[in-house]
A and B are shown apart, each in its own frame.
Chain A
């Protein structure tokens, strides 16, 4: 293991040991998540909203050069000085030049991640200038010498008490541990700063080419003082933030808070084209357009999409591992999911080791208002890292799980004993990195593939069943009962032996070449059947998700992959759409009626489990969907790995979800379709966890 990994693991462990910080963070992200969800559920057509933002941003990024030109011309016509800065040094020398010309020593600043990106404060301070952050959260972390913990709430990891201590220490007088006390102190400290700074520096959320105007959003209103009082105003704007027209800007300044905090607008939205008059004095406005790698990024087909980010923070509010460790571990300067591609592109691969905190749950993409395919970019960052710095041994081991499963099943039940006895568990733990307190699946020699007899292609309705690993090697009953259900509905079912498991571990561990190979193989096997009129069914959400979402991405949206994707269904989705009349009935113990339902992450972009819940309910179960809105943390084989980048983090992610399930004391069982979620939930709840198929029989 190299030092970067060791450092990452240390950081995770530190984060995991700080319970107070974890609960502050999880409250913050949950609030963001719930607020966004409430807003989006009120929208008539949320997916149209996302595709509008996506189209708008993609178009703007594609025409970035033209937009820079138009914006610069119009802003210059308005009387602004416009400077296109290549990199950090360029910005620093521009601003320090302004400072020495105007004699300013004290600079005030309103929240700007773009200036954080280039560590502007530190660099200006090295030149002997003093820069004061004026956003409360930013000022707190500036005084504490920290980096932002969250995009929208930079100081969310700090308690009120620690803030009052920090202020007492820095301001040199007692600041009470109360909201009022802290607010009074910050006002008292900053008011004179606003009125005595020579240069005000603002970040801009949007720049509008049409009129050469910048748009600045704040809730506190600090930007308004920073850009009205000083004689010199500098606006630093990322090159990707320029849009052509006001219609675009309006959509964005609405989308941003909707997705960030669930409000229609940020409290103050200022649209500034030039300085206004006060006291008849000539005052300057400078707009610095920052490139710093953005032009190169826009030409990189793998990463240009990252430029579509509107910095709403929704992806970090839903990311399961970010939600535990926070932005100091899950981030360099840019935190969270989108921070991974941004860091790799702007700050370099060396700084992006935290990419391995991503467990490929896919949730970030489901909430991104710009529909950015963050998980794919992250997988590519992991791939770059694996290629440059090598793969962890335990990850390599997990990537060979399919071969191992085949072998273990062929030698079961002896293999189960060999693998599972105490001595072996110790050896596996030490040598392979498999967490020894995790229950391992019990393999069966009588696999689904061995027990299944394909139908002749006689029936009109032809289906392919894709069992994936679990329903083949561990619980063939799930596969067999699924086939029964489909046959009872009148279909003929096949399940080609040459199908390989979905290959999800390859994606998870950044082995994209291998993931693509599996995708190509499975798509070509399935496409032959699809072109003969077959539909594809799976009972493992990760498999359905792979066929529907991941394979097309890996295969450059080839016609075959798109075709297979369009013909792939979840079992209960298929039954509901094609056989609405078929009514499965309750199976097994009749008294087990009160069920909790867990939605696996990979099912969220599919049906979110609504068809499965409906099937269970129609069979007479009393079902409640129980969710925190994020992941159970198992993430395939991730949770099986020993240590902080495995079981320890995985269990910390699971904790709130398990607590929520356990609070529902009346539950008699839990239904979920994912085999890995079943393992995680099974470890922490006191009722059986089953696949819905195990709870139902064909009607």
Chain B
């Protein structure tokens, strides 16, 4: 699937141009393994979105990393590390799309210093126009609607003399591990 490879490459190029890092894995399992390798020796514990939990917690334990069980906003008061799933990404804009059902997921990518997301390569769309149906579908659920966030690399500012700095209130380092058959 040449076009899919093209789309991953394009996403990678754009996301890295914005200061993010992209890693490639074969399967979802490999992706989780890569997360462990990436963090091994660097962090002792992580926040993670619930959807990733059982396999993630088990796998990370192997690397000596504990997945925290967070239930209150205050659990995030110390800036740590967050692992989430990026449901989609947009190649042309170099952003990941986080569709969060719980505040814990948002905080894992917002209140941390280091954020790692895993992403199925089949869910990388070409351009921003493709977002409309995705947003509509996500918000079409009955009951509580998810919060959708487009994230284009680390938190940044140029408020001081126009000098670019990363890591203001959010992560200064963002990694995306892309996996999937389409690679």
**Residues of chain A at the chain B interface (Cβ within 8 Å):** 24, 27-28, 31, 78-79, 134-137, 140, 153-156, 158-160, 163, 179, 182-183, 186-187, 190-192, 194-195, 210-211, 213, 219-222, 224-225, 228-229, 245-247, 250, 254, 263-280
B42 at the interface (CB under 8 A from A): no
Pick out which of these stretches binds chain A: B2-10, B52-60, B162-170, B175-183: B162-170
Residues of B within 8 A of A27 (CB): 162
User: Which single residue of chain B is at the shortest CB-CB distance from A27?
Assistant: B162
* A183, B79: Cα distance in complex, Å: 14
Instruction: Name 10 A/B residue pairs within 8 A (Cβ), A-sorted.
Output: A78-B145, A134-B169, A191-B77, A229-B111, A246-B136, A264-B92, A268-B150, A271-B149, A278-B73, A278-B107
In the complex, identify which listed stretch (B27-35, B116-124, B153-161) lies at the interface while the others stay far away. Answer: B153-161
The answer to whether residues A268 and B169 also contact, given A24-B161, A228-B110 and a CB cut-off of 8 A, is: no
Considering only CB atoms, which chain B residue lies closest to A139 in the complex? B159
- B84 close to chain A: CB less than 8 A: no
Task: Please pick, from B100, B110, B128, the residue contacting A250 in the complex, using a CB distance under 8 A.
Answer: B128
Known contacts A272-B147, A278-B102: A267-B169 contact under CB 8 Å:
no
**Chain B residues in 8 Å Cβ range of A220:** 155-157, 168-170
A267 CB contacts on chain B under 8 angstroms = 18, 151-156
Given A160-B161, A183-B165, 5 more pairs with CB closer than 8 A: A28-B162, A183-B168, A221-B155, A250-B129, A268-B150
| B163 adjacent to A187 (CB under 8 Å) | no
- B159 near A137 with CB under 8 A, answer yes
Residue of A nearest to B111 (CB): A225
How long is the Cα–Cα vector from A44 to B135 in the complex, in angstroms?
26
Q: Smallest distance from the beta carbon of A26 to chain B beta carbons, Å? A: 11
Choose among B14, B103, B145 the residue that contacts A211 (Cβ–Cβ < 8 A): B145
CA distance in complex: A135, B155 (Å) = 12
Q: Which of B94, B165, B169 contacts A225 (CB 8 A)?
A: B169
**List of B residues within 8 angstroms of A265 by Cβ:** 93, 95, 128, 150, 152
Known A-B contacts A134-B169, A191-B77, A278-B104; the reply to A273 vs B159 at CB < 8 A is no
Quick check: B149 and A222 within 8 Å, CB to CB?
Answer: no
Partner of B72 from the list A28, A160, A279 (CB cut-off 8 Å) is: A279
Give the Cβ gap from A617 to chain B, nearest Cβ, in Å. Answer: 36
A276 to chain B, nearest CB (A): 4
Distance between Cα atoms of A274 and B110 in the complex (Å): 17
| Residues in A neighbouring B100, C-beta threshold 8 A | 276
Which of B148, B150, B154 neighbours the largest number of chain A CB atoms within 10 Å of its CB? B150
Determine which of A194, A247, A275 lies in contact with B169 in the assembled complex, contact meaning CB atoms within 8 Å: A194
Are A273's CB and B139's CB within 8 A?
A: yes
Most buried by A among B103, B163, B169: B169
A153 and B71 within 8 A (CB): no
Query: In the complex the two chains form, what is the Cα distance from A675 to B73 in whole Å?
Result: 65
Top-9 shortest CB links A-B: A221-B170, A137-B159, A278-B103, A224-B110, A273-B145, A220-B168, A221-B155, A269-B150, A264-B93
- B73, B110, B158: the one within 8 Å of A153 (CB): B158
Which of chain A's residues have a CB closer than 8 A to the CB of B72?
278-279
Interchain CB contact under 8 A, A183 and B161: no
A228 to B170, CA, bound (A): 13
- Contact among B144, B149, B160 for A182, CB-based, below 8 A: B160
With a CB–CB cut-off of 8 A, which chain B residues contact A31?
Answer: 162
B39 within 8 Å of A by Cβ?
Answer: no
Q: Does B1 contact A (CB under 8 A)?
A: no
Q: Which residue of B lies closest to A283 (CB)?
A: B103
Q: Report the Cα distance A691→B149, complex, angstroms.
A: 54
A166 CB to nearest B CB, Å: 11
Interchain CB contact (< 8 A) of B168 among A24, A155, A187, A210: A187
The CA of A155 and the CA of B107, in the complex, are separated in Å by: 28
Q: How many whole Å from B23's CB to the nearest CB in chain A?
A: 21
Interchain nearest-CB distance for B172 vs A (Å):
9
B112 → chain A, closest Cβ, in Å? Answer: 10
Contact code string B91-115 (vs A, CB < 8 Å = 1, else 0): 0111100001111101100110000
Q: How many Å from the CB of A230 to the closest CB on chain B?
A: 8
Known: A182-B160, A274-B145, A278-B103. A195 touches B73 (CB 8 A): yes
Q: Which of B95, B104, B148 contacts A271 (CB 8 A)?
A: B148
Contact in complex: A159, B161 (CB < 8 Å): yes
What does the 1/0 interface line of B69-86 toward A look like (CB < 8 Å)? Answer: 001111011010000000
The reply to whether B147 and A183 contact each other, CB–CB distance below 8 Å, is no
Chain A residues, Cβ within 8 Å of B155: 219-221, 267-268
A220 CA to B79 CA in the complex, in Å?
15
Q: Which residues of A have CB within 8 Å of B135? A: 211, 246, 271
* B156–A277 CB distance below 8 A: no
Q: Are A224 and B139 closer than 8 Å at their CB atoms?
A: no
Kindly provide the distance from the CB of A491 to the nearest chain B CB, expressed in whole angstroms. Answer: 49
Q: How far is the CB of B19 from chain A (nearest CB, A)?
A: 10
CB-CB under 8 A from B110, the residues of chain A are 221, 224-225, 228, 268
Could you tell me the distance between the alpha carbons of A179 and B161 in the complex, rounded to whole angstroms? Answer: 10
A247 vs B132: C-alpha distance when bound (angstroms): 6
Cβ–Cβ < 8 Å partners of B146 in chain A = 276
Please name all residues of chain B whose beta carbon is closer than 8 Å to the beta carbon of A263 when the two chains form the complex.
18, 152
Asked whether, in the complex, the Cβ of A271 is within 8 Å of the Cβ of B147, the reply is yes
Residues of chain B in range 21-72 having any CB-CB distance to chain A below 8 Å: 71-72
Question: Which residues of the other chain, B, contact A280 by a CB distance below 8 angstroms?
Answer: 71
Query: Chain A residues with Cβ under 8 A from B159's Cβ?
Result: 135-137, 140, 153-156
Contact check: which of A179, A186, A187, A270 meets B147 at CB < 8 Å? A270
Chain B contacts for A219, CB-based, 8 A = 155-157, 168
| Closest chain B CB from A147 CB (angstroms) | 15
Q: Which residue of B lies closest to A153 (CB)?
A: B159
Cβ contact within 8 Å between B103 and A228: yes
Distance to closest chain A CB from B107 (angstroms): 6
Min distance, Cβ B13 to any Cβ of chain A, angstroms? 12
Instruction: Establish whether residues B163 and A179, one from each chain, have CB atoms under 8 Å apart when the complex forms.
Output: yes
Q: How far is the CA of A219 from the CA of B19 in the complex (A)?
A: 13
Say which residue of A156, A222, A250, A269 sits within 8 Å of B162 (CB atoms).
Answer: A156
Inside 8 A of A137's CB, which chain B residues have their CB? 157, 159
Residues of B within 8 A of A268 (CB): 110, 149-152, 155, 170
Q: Which residue of B lies closest to A246 (CB)?
A: B132
